[in-house]
Amino acid sequence: MRPRSPRGWPVNIDARRIPADVEAVCARLRAAGHQAHLVGGGIRDLLLGRPPADFDVATDAHPQQVMALFGSRYAIPTGLQHGTVTVVTNVDDGAGASLEPGVSSTHRESALGDDPGEMKPGGKPRNRHVEVTTFRGEGAYVDGRRPSSVTYVGSLDEDLSRRDFTMNAIGYDPISKVLTDPFEGRRDLAARRVRAVGDAEARFREDGLRPMRAIRQATQLEFDIDPPTLTAIGLTLDVFRKVSAERIRDEILKLLSARQPSMGIQLMRKTGMLAVVLPELLEGVGVAQNRFHKHDVYQHTLAVVDASTGDAVARLGALLHDIGKPRARQPREGAPGEFTFFKHEVVGAEMTDGICRRWKLSNADRDRVVALVQHHMFFYTPDWTDGTVRRFVRRIGPEVLPALFALREADIVGRGRNEDPEGELGELRRRIAAVHAEDAALRVGDLAIDGREVMRILERGPGREVGVLLERLLERVLDDPTLNTPAHLERLLKELVAPV
Ligand code: ATP
Ligand code: MG
């Protein structure tokens, strides 16, 4: 039996795209007399023909019943206070084959013994985490932050009614093949629009993150936001302000992973959200640059983000690369209407550090973003010696370099003058590849002797000076890699400490 759907709505479930292991979770719940419906983003993406990121199951079974049904080796009580149990399944590449959770002991081992993130050679994850959540409503929200309590409700419809957007409030029972769509989510999917379930302003006042989810999901799906829902964003900024930094950060990083993040940034600007989250970016609005740029700083930034590649953190580097420009701008002497942005990357790196701390990025991510902003202005000339190239690689760090080049390419594209980035970057890229190919020492750890040998040669104990000496040896080796042998380094070391 095909799911019934009103004529003209092109959205339908292709049941073959529901993974067998996900269906097996539903089948087990159904066999035990419970309901089981796929809900949320997974079913939305299936209706859109997009590969779902994850699968959520809504059930009338209580968490303890779900735990008992799948056993503690398969079921992890990840969010009991929210009614959520995570069931670990085994994803099989074979057509249609799947792990029936809890069936065989070999499966049992592999279902729980592996790192869920581990990839098979085929690139597919071995394990899947299916979140099984008891039908729930939500108690009163305190401060627009989090529901103060969770209450279980009796029906799928009630559960769907507390969800944020109509497209996310659709349920599908893969066993009886029944689709439940009480808020006309399929109509909105067909019209490519994000629409709040119920009264948008009231829903946004319950949870201040929802406005940002609306913008992020509209950007990811390249949908419009239904006008009343869009208007409600501006009306509820006072609640949005109270949302925790971590939740905002996660949304921003997801938004930056969309094909065209500028769409979301523009929506944030128009609704007033950008002034709350990243007011620094607004400083670039209307800030004209110079003859090299078609756009003002703000528009240029949007163009660079859209042209940028890499992960969300790399793209955050693109978003912030010129954040210091408005504050660093100076009129150019003798050239009316022209400006200089001397050291804007230094101003920008400091601002970026503050922004990343505000958003509570991890230290590693913050370091990467700050490095991208700080180094994005490198200027190569053909007179660089090989030593200069090695020093450059060392300063930036070999791990950051690919992202830095990608950022510069996007920066050139974002000038809007149809220039070929290869002309500006190609030669340096080739020379860096040559440096890597010769396997030259680029860090202290690459030297042919280490701290222990320094101490042995000089007959000294440990101390700060050992590190300083290694750095000085590296300086010499960067200029002349042939010096990186134990014998040469021992000689250089003795010269360095010899009294003058
Ligand atoms: P994604 O593709 O990012 O996973 P998603 O819609 O699945 O999108 P999740 O954060 O995984 O987003 O949430 C799963 C479902 O839970 C949503 O589809 C929605 O039904 C519901 N939901 C999530 N966050 C909220 C919220 N803040 N308010 C109401 N419902 C929410
Ligand atoms: Mg999801």
Q: Are 89 and 130 in contact (CB under 8 A)?
A: yes
Residue among 46, 134, 159, 164 whose CB has most ligand 1 atoms within 8 A, to mutate: 164
Among 277, 303, 330, the domain boundary falls at 277
Give, in order, the Cα–Cα distances in Å from 100 to each of 28, 91, 106: 8, 10, 12
Please tell me whether residues 25 and 173 are part of one structural domain. yes
pLDDT band per the 50, 70, 90 thresholds, residue 9: very low
Last residue of some domain: 216, 247, 277?
Answer: 277
Ligand 1 pocket check: which of 168, 206, 215, 257 to mutate, most ligand atoms within 8 Å of Cβ?
Answer: 168
- Give the 3-state DSSP-derived string for 44-77, with helices as H, strands as E and coil as C: HHHHHCCCCCCCEEEECCCHHHHHHHHCCCCEEE
Look at residue 12 and tell me whether its pLDDT is greater than 80: no
Top-confidence residue, 154 or 225 = 225
Ligand 1 lined by 41 (C-beta under 6 Å):
yes
User: Is the per-residue pLDDT at 122 higher than 90?
Assistant: no
411 falls within a domain: yes
How many angstroms does the Cα of residue 211 sit away from the middle of ligand 1?
Answer: 12
Ligand 2 mean position to 39 CA, how many Å? 9
Residue 199's pLDDT is what? Answer: 98
CA 110 to ligand 1 centroid distance, Å: 29
pLDDT for residue 42 is more than 80: yes
Q: What is the DSSP letter of 332?
A: P
The DSSP secondary structure of 9-49, one letter per residue, reads ------GGGS-HHHHHHHHHHHHTT---EEETHHHHHHHHT
Question: Range of 241's domain?
Answer: 192-277
Q: Is any ligand 1 atom within 6 A of the Cβ of residue 216?
A: no
Question: Tell me, what CATH number does 318's domain have?
Answer: 1.10.3210
Q: How far is the CA of 42 from the centre of ligand 2 (A)?
A: 6
Q: How far is CA 49 from each of CA 57, 191, 441, 449, rounded to the nearest angstrom?
A: 19, 15, 50, 57
CA of 254, closest atom in ligand 1 = 3
Ligand 1 binding pocket includes 40 (Cβ within 6 Å): yes
Coil, strand or helix at 145? coil
Mean pLDDT score across all residues of the chain: 89
- HEC assignment per residue over 88-100: EEECCCCCCCCCC
Q: Cα(334)–Cα(297) distance, rounded to whole angstroms?
A: 22
Closest listed ligand to the CA of 218? 1
Q: 73-82: which pairs have CB atoms within 8 A and are 24 or more residues apart?
A: 73/102, 73/108, 73/111, 73/112, 74/101, 74/102, 74/108, 74/111, 74/112, 75/132, 78/131, 79/131, 79/133, 81/150, 82/133, 82/136, 82/150
pLDDT at 150: 78
Which atom of ligand 1 is least distant from the CA of 169?
20
Whether residue 476 is contained in a domain is answered as: yes
Pocket probe mutation, ligand 1, options 130, 143, 163, 222, max atoms within 8 Å of Cβ: 163
438, 462, 484: which is the final residue of a domain? 438
Instruction: Determine the atom of ligand 1 nearest the C-alpha atom of 45.
Output: 2
C-beta neighbour count of 214 within 10 angstroms:
28
Which ligand places an atom closest to the C-alpha of 133?
Answer: 1
Domain assignment present for 222: yes
- Answer whether residue 393 is part of any domain: yes
Specify if 295 maps to a domain: yes
Residue 169 and residue 236 share a domain = no
pLDDT digits (tens, 9 = 90+) for 67-104: 999 998 899 999 888 899 999 999 864 333 344 544 33
CA neighbor of 321 nearest in space, from 331, 307, 335: 307
With 0-12 / 13-18 / 19 or more C-beta atoms within 10 angstroms meaning exposed / middle / buried, residue 82 is middle
Between 16 and 229, name the one with better pLDDT.
Answer: 229
- Please report which confidence band the pLDDT of residue 288 belongs to, taking 50, 70 and 90 as the band edges: confident
- How many angstroms is it from 45 CA to the middle of ligand 2? 9
Percent of the chain's residues with pLDDT above 90 = 75
Q: Using one digit for the tens of pLDDT, what is the confidence trace for 71-80? A: 988 999 998 8
Q: How many domains, in total, are found in the chain?
A: 4
Q: Is there a single domain that holds both residue 229 and residue 148?
A: no
Residues 430 and 453 both lie in one domain = no
Q: What is the DSSP letter of 310?
A: S
- Measured by CA distance, the residue closest to atom 9 of ligand 1 is 41
Q: Is residue 323 situated within a structural domain?
A: yes
**What are 399-443's pLDDT values in tens digits?**
899 999 999 999 999 988 888 888 889 999 999 999 888 888 999
* 10 lies in some domain: no
The closest alpha carbon to 101, from 207, 49, 28, belongs to: 28
| CB 255 near ligand 1, within 6 Å | no
Name all contacts of 453-456 with Cβ < 8 Å and 24+ positions apart. Answer: 453/486, 454/493
**CB of 54 closer than 6 angstroms to any ligand 1 atom:** yes
Regarding whether 358 and 324 lie in a shared domain, the answer is yes
pLDDT of residue 27 exceeding 50: yes
Q: How far is the CA of 128 from the centre of ligand 2 (A)?
A: 13
- Is the same domain home to 251 and 223? yes
3-state SS assignment for residue 290? coil
Query: Quick one: which ligand is closest to 214's CA?
Result: 1
What spacing in Å lies between the alpha carbon of 340 and ligand 2's midpoint? 45
Q: Token pair of 426, please?
A: 């190609």
State the closest ligand 1 atom to the C-alpha of 56, by its place in the atom list counted from 1: 14
From the list 301, 311, 297, the residue with the least C-alpha distance to 361 is: 311
Query: CATH code at 236?
Result: 1.10.110.30
User: Are residues 363 and 321 both part of a single domain?
Assistant: yes
Could you tell me if 272 and 283 lie in one domain?
no
The rounded Å distance from CA 210 to ligand 1 centre is 9
Cα–Cα distance for residue pair 34/27, rounded to 1 Å: 9
- Long-range contacts of residues 241-247, Cβ cutoff 8 Å, at least 24 apart: 241/208, 241/276, 242/143, 242/144, 242/145, 242/208, 243/144, 243/145, 243/208, 243/209, 243/212, 244/145, 245/358, 245/359, 245/360, 246/360, 247/209
170 and 60 in a common domain: yes
Tokens 């209450």 found at: 151
374 lines ligand 1 (CB under 6 A): no
Q: Are residues 39 and 113 in the same domain?
A: yes
Q: What percent of the chain has pLDDT over 70?
A: 89
In 3D space, the residue among 349, 365, 179, 189 whose CA is nearest the CA of residue 280 turns out to be 349
- Across the range 458-478, mean pLDDT stands at 93
Q: Check whether residue 264 and residue 313 sit in a common domain.
A: no
Nearest protein Cα to ligand 1, atom 2? 41
Tokens encoding 117: 């993130």
140 CB-near residues (< 8 Å, 6+ apart)? 147, 148, 149
- Cα gap 336→297, rounded to integer Å: 18
- 41 CA: nearest ligand 1 atom: 7
211 shares its domain with 176? no
pLDDT digits (tens, 9 = 90+) for 145-196: 565 667 899 899 999 999 999 999 999 999 999 999 999 999 999 999 999 9
Domain containing 112 — which CATH number? 3.30.460.10
pLDDT recorded at residue 268:
98
Does the Cβ of 203 fall within 6 Å of ligand 1? Answer: no
Burial 293-309 (b: 16+ CB within 10 A, else e): bebbbbbbbbbbbbbbe
Instruction: Look at residue 4 and tell me if it is in a domain.
Output: no
Q: What is the whole-number distance in angstroms between the Cα of residue 196 and the centre of ligand 1? A: 12
Least confident of 126-130, 157-161, 201-205: 126-130
- State the first-to-last Cα distance of the chain, in angstroms, to the nearest integer: 92
56 lines ligand 1 (CB under 6 A): yes
Ligand 1 atom closest to 42 (CA):
7
Q: Give the Å distance between the CA of 34 and the centre of ligand 1.
A: 23
pLDDT at 366: 98
Pair type for strands 146-147 and 141-142: antiparallel
Ligand 1 pocket check for 209: Cβ under 6 Å = yes
- Mean pLDDT of all residues in 324-349: 92
Rounded to the nearest angstrom, the distance between the alpha carbon of 499 and the centre of ligand 2 is 67
Q: Is the CB of 53 under 6 A from ligand 1?
A: yes
- Whether 63 shows a pLDDT value over 60: the answer reads yes
State how beta strands 339-340 and 330-331 pair.
Answer: antiparallel
Q: Is 168 in the pocket of ligand 1 (CB under 6 A)?
A: yes
